[in-house]
Structure 1
Amino acid sequence: MRNIRNSELSDRRSTAADAKAALLRAYRAAKEAAEPTREAKQAERLAIAEAREARRAEREQLKLDEQNRIEAETAERDAADAAAAKAETDARELADKNRIARVLEDEAARKAERDRRYANRKARQG
């Protein structure tokens, strides 16, 4: 049923103000009651964020370690390849020098044989 009471403007205004004040008191009471749980939740969120950051830093460190390991392996492989190439070049140069030395020795032996034959021929003629 309707409230047929005749209320004045001032009554309505004071009722509205009382209602607003009651709502504000209820809000403040609820906020104070939730303060311990809010702090606990905030601390929990902070701990989760720190753990997340620690895991991220660990992942980055693992990536960095892996990258450094790969770079070290690549450097070792390149050094081994360079050493093998140098050894091959040195061996080829040594083989070339040996071949040249044999050619010179053979040439000298041929010349010596030719000179000996020439001297024998001259000795027989003379």
Structure 2
Amino acid sequence: MPSYREPSFQDRTAAAAQAKQKALERLRAKPAADPAELEARRAAREAREQVLAAERAAKAEALAAAKAEKLARKQAEAEQRAAERAEAEAAAALKEARLRPPSAAEMKAARDARYAARKARK
């Protein structure tokens, strides 16, 4: 039984050159691509790219619509909170005005108004 012989550098380079030559021969033996087939592939690729571009545009449009809707919702909520805050402030001011005893000037104004109304009826 022969013992294993480690290939030398020349053996390895020769084997690599031979493998390269075989690959080149296989490539040359391959028939040239049919122009009609190449055109069909190009058309299919362009159609696929158009579909992808349309999908990306639709996705971007949906995202923009969602952002606009979210912004509108935030603005409506802010307006509602502002209205509620103003209503609460008005209610607090009214409550404070009702609880505060009338000043002397206010009492005099109310008394004068009653007097003027009584005079106007006569």
Please state which band the TM-score falls in when normalised by the shorter chain. 0.5 to 0.7
| 1:86–1:59 distance in 2 versus 1, CA, 3 Å | same
Report deviation, 1:29.
Answer: 7.6
CA positional deviation for 1:75: 0.5
Which residue, out of 9, 21, 24, partners 2:28?
Answer: 21
Equivalent residue in structure 2 for 1:39, among 23, 46, 71: 46
Which residue is equivalent to 1:97?
A: 102
RMSD in angstroms over aligned alpha carbons?
Answer: 3.4
Alignment CA distance shift 1:16-1:92 (3 Å): closer
Alignment of 1:24-103 (within 5 A): 25-26=32-33, 31-93=38-100, 96-97=101-102
Cα offset for 1:36?
A: 0.5
The change in CA–CA distance for 1:55 and 1:24 in structure 2 (over 3 A counts) is farther
32-41 vs 71-80, which moves further: 32-41
C-alpha deviation, 1:30, in angstroms: 5.2
How many pairs align?
A: 88
Letter in 2 for 1:39: E
- Look up the SS of the partner of 1:97 in the other structure: coil
The separation in 2 between residues aligned to 1:80 and 1:13, in whole angstroms, is 87
Scaled by the length of structure 2, what TM-score is found? Answer: 0.58
Q: Distance in 2 between matches of 1:57 and 1:36?
A: 31
Aligned residue number for residue 8 of structure 2: none
Q: After the TM superposition, list the runs of 4 or more consecutive aligned residues in structure 1 that deviate by more than 3 angstroms.
A: 12-16, 22-33
Identity of aligned residues (%): 22
Larger radius of gyration: 1
Greater share of helix: 1
Alignment gaps of 5+ in structure 1 = 1-11, 103-126
State the secondary structure of the residue aligned to 1:25: coil
Structure 2: segments with no counterpart, 5+ residues: 1-18, 108-122
